[in-house]
């Protein structure tokens, strides 16, 4: 008898934890497991703002798959699916295509930056979802300040010293907080006449920053940012992005050569290949994460619409916290379909969220308890160290040795836009 073949598409938070569970429950002669992933690591996205801010090395937030998983890894992207024929097409990083057959399919390919229709955004803005984008941003921002010091043209100087971030959710707010601190350190350490005055603008269509944390904590974060001098413009949208600036919905022009899009994500377009109805772009799954109408297919994480059994009438949020735990549930469901054990419905009470604002500032709501300042920062960092499935001592050492020391203020010539930014094309 041939062994069943489980194909897992994507190895981020959900896929990684699904594969780990499958490997722990299935022996090598019981099933073959293949993981298709464009990356050789799990990217721990919550710490990306610290990479952009120069506090962590990009590699510190990547957990290598080799050595942690024993399944077959296929480097590439699944770009087409044939459900009745149980086949998946894979394109590797050099463009070669191959086909994989499967008996069970687990879709864990996450999300991409929301496709947007703002004129000029795709050409002139960068996204913030990858290590390449985080490293690029740090480099680019430092280089802009160095170029600003060399120009006598006040207009060009304003463009180079003004930085615009669109979207005041977790990614955008933390990014502004960390990069603002980096540019302030730069301005302190470089003599310039006139003095450098880096300016950060955070734009959001809603009336709050960090709406997921509630009015009080969002308000505290807003106060911290404004106290530091960040220009937070709420109830404002971006109408147009150009090479040298941004026009907002109120008609005002912000001179800037750096625009970052953190305006939300949409499920991976791979779900369209299923040919099933979608709900706000996500594929509906049952309580055990099986896709209705597609026998042998399971989905989880950012691309799946999963009923939140702790909040009737709602779906689970698109967070790492849910994706990780859904990984374990989906593995149990696959095992059950192979005649091994019984899967339980997915149910998880949110442990709470945290936003690190750098320095000793943070806001957090662990287990419903609102925290601010150092207590929130300790809670956030403690959670990250517990949640990341590797590199703990490396990250802790960086935090300890970096405390109180100025960041290294050099750029590494990474001044080309990242080629694989989801904003730059893969969202179609």
Site for ligand FAD contains 71 (CB under 6 A): no
Give how far Cα 315 sits from Cα of 178, 284, 309, Å: 31, 10, 8
β-pairing, 265-267 vs 111-113, is antiparallel
Is residue 329 a contact partner of residue 350, using CB atoms and an 8 Å limit? Answer: no
Instruction: Determine the residue with CB nearest ligand FAD.
Output: 12
Q: What is the residue-wise DSSP string for 408-427?
A: P----S--SPPTT-GGGTTT
- Minimum distance from CB of 43 to ligand FAD (Å)? 6
Site for ligand FAD contains 128 (CB under 6 A): yes
- Minimum distance from CB of 50 to ligand FAD (Å)? 10
Is residue 15 a contact partner of residue 108, using CB atoms and an 8 Å limit? Answer: yes
Give 4 or 269: the residue with its C-beta nearer to ligand FAD.
269
H helix runs in 113-169, sequence order: 121-124, 131-149, 154-161
- Positions in 321-380 near ligand FAD (CB under 6 A): 321, 323
Using CB under 6 A as the criterion, what x/- string covers residues 268-287 for binding ligand FAD?
x-x-----------------
- Positions in 27-66 near ligand FAD (CB under 6 A): 36-39, 45-46, 48
Q: Cβ neighbours of residue 155 under 8 Å, at least 6 residues apart?
A: 255
Of 156-164, 208-216, 289-297, 320-328, which segment contacts ligand FAD by CB under 6 A?
Answer: 320-328
Among 185, 244, 305, 320, binds ligand FAD (CB under 6 A): 320
- Minimum distance from CB of 399 to ligand FAD (Å)? 16
Within 10 angstroms of residue 408's Cβ, the number of other Cβ atoms is: 10
Which H or E element spans position 18? Answer: helix 13-25
Site for ligand FAD contains 7 (CB under 6 A): no
Give 73 or 241: the residue with its C-beta nearer to ligand FAD.
73
**In degrees rounded to 5, what are phi and psi of residue 329?**
-65, -45
Q: 283 - beta bridge partners?
A: 278, 304
Largest alpha-carbon pair distance within the chain?
Answer: 78
Give 192 or 398: the residue with its C-beta nearer to ligand FAD.
398
Using CB under 6 A as the criterion, what x/- string covers residues 72-111 for binding ligand FAD?
-----xxx----------------------------xxx-
Angle at CA 253, nearest 5°, toward 247 and 258? 75
Structure tokens at 41: 């690591």
- Minimum distance from CB of 146 to ligand FAD (Å)? 26
- Minimum distance from CB of 80 to ligand FAD (Å)? 10
| Binding site residues, ligand FAD, CB under 6 A | 9-15, 36-39, 45-46, 48, 77-79, 108-110, 128-129, 170-171, 268, 270, 301-302, 318-321, 323
């Amino acid at each position: 008898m041939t062994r069943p073949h489980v194909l897992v598409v994507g190895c981020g938070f959900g896929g990684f934890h699904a594969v780990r569970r499958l490997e722990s429950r299935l022996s090598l002669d019981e099933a073959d497991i293949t993981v298709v992933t464009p990356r050789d690591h799990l990217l721990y996205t919550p710490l990306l703002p610290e990479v952009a801010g120069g506090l962590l090395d990009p590699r510190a937030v990547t957990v290598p798959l080799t050595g942690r998983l024993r399944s077959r890894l296929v480097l590439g992207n699944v770009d087409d699916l044939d459900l009745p024929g149980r086949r998946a097409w894979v394109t590797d990083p050099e463009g070669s295509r191959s086909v994989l057959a499967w008996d069970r399919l687990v879709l864990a390919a996450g999300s991409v930056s929301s496709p947007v229709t703002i004129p000029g955004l795709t050409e002139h803005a960068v996204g913030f979802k990858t290590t390449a984008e985080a490293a690029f941003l740090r480099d680019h921002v430092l280089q802009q300040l160095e170029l600003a010091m060399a120009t006598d043209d006040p207009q060009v100087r304003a463009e180079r010293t003004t930085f615009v971030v669109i979207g005041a959710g977790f990614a955008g707010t933390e990014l502004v907080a960390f990069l603002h601190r980096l540019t302030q350190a730069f301005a302190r350490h470089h003599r310039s006449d006139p003095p450098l005055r880096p300016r950060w603008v955070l734009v959001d269509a809603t009336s709050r920053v960090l709406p997921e944390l509630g009015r009080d904590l969002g308000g505290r974060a807003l106060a911290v940012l404004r106290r530091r001098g960040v220009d937070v413009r709420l109830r404002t949208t971006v109408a147009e992005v150009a090479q040298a600036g941004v026009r907002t919905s109120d008609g005002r022009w912000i001179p800037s050569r750096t625009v970052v899009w953190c305006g939300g994500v949409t499920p991976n377009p791979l779900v369209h290949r299923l040919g099933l109805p979608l709900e706000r772009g996500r594929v509906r799954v049952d309580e055990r994460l099986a896709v209705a109408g597609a026998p042998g297919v399971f989905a989880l994480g950012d691309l799946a619409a999963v009923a939140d059994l702790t909040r009737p009438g709602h779906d689970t949020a698109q967070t790492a916290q849910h994706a990780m735990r859904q990984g374990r549930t989906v593995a149990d469901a696959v095992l059950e379909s192979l005649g091994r054990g019984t899967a339980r419905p997915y149910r998880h009470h949110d442990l709470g969220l945290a936003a690190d604002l750098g320095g000793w500032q943070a806001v957090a709501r662990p287990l419903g308890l609102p925290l601010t300042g150092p207590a929130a920062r300790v809670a956030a960092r403690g959670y990250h160290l517990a949640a990341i499935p590797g590199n703990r001592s490396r990250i802790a050492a960086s935090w300890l040795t970096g405390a109180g020391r100025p960041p290294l203020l050099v750029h590494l010539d990474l001044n080309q836009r990242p080629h694989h930014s989801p904003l730059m094309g893969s969202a179609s």
